[in-house]
Amino acid sequence: NLLTRLDSGIVAFQELQVDQYLDLKRALRDTNDFFPASKPKTKLVWQTVTWDKSQWSLVDSRVVTVPVIGTTRPNAMVRLRNKATGRDVWVLNVHNSSKNTPERQRERNQAVRIEVDNILAERKQKVPVVSQGDMNERKTVFCKVTGWTDLEAVTGGSNRRGRCRPPRNMRLDWIFASPELPVRSARFVRDARVA
């Protein structure tokens, strides 16, 4: 009901469980497509991406695997085409290691490098990217993503000429978007019903 009420064209989930995924697919089957689309594997379904079929169509998809808590975690990355404009966008939905230990920090560093490499590959092809998810970092991930790519955080902040200035209100969850996308801090709203 909330997804329908919000009229969201693209939604990325964090820690979605298989039973929740299956219920969402049943409830939204006429309106939405999903990645993963087939029988879900527990780890990948955690980072499910869904989109409104009337607005978007799937062009391509892949799994971006990163180190997490002594093992690996698959993250969803989908290329969607807007049916009204014909323009494509890649959506990367990630969940990096938690905990503030040297080992977990090393994993986060490796994960962000892998994620950024995937972002840069698509930006090199001139395709816009939205990277979102639970990064489990604040200033560190902001400065890396905005310093190594041209993506901007929807919550604001800047990173120009080596001066990284994160937004004041930082959380562990982030949305970064290519500058040509109409996703800006002026339009960003944190909805307590969703958070």
Average pLDDT over residues 120-149: 96
Q: Is the pLDDT of residue 192 over 70?
A: no
The answer to whether 185 touches 167, Cβ cutoff 8 Å, is yes
- In the DSSP assignment, the letter for residue 40 is P
Query: Cα separations (Å) of 46 from 27, 40, 43, 73?
Result: 18, 9, 6, 9
pLDDT surpassing 60 at residue 189: no
**What percent of the chain lies above the pLDDT cut of 90?**
68
CB-count burial class (<10 Å; 0-12, 13-18, 19+) for 126: exposed
What phi and psi values does residue 133 have, to the nearest 5 degrees? 145, -175
Q: Which residues of 135-151 are buried (b: 16+ CB within 10 A; e: fewer)?
A: bbbeebbbbbbbebbbb
Average pLDDT over residues 142-156: 95
User: Alpha helix locations (H) across 15-138?
Assistant: 18-28, 42-45, 102-124
Which of 70-79, 134-143, 149-158, 176-185 has the least mean pLDDT? Answer: 176-185
Long-range CB contacts (within 8 A, 24+) of 29-34 = 31/4, 32/3, 33/58
| Residue 107 CB partners (closer than 8 Å, separation 6+) | 66, 67, 68, 69, 96, 97
pLDDT number for residue 195: 47
Q: Tell me if 71 sits within 8 A of 42, measured CB to CB.
A: no
- Which of residues 98 and 39 earns the better pLDDT score? 98
Least confident of 74-78, 165-169, 182-186: 182-186
**pLDDT for residue 10:** 92
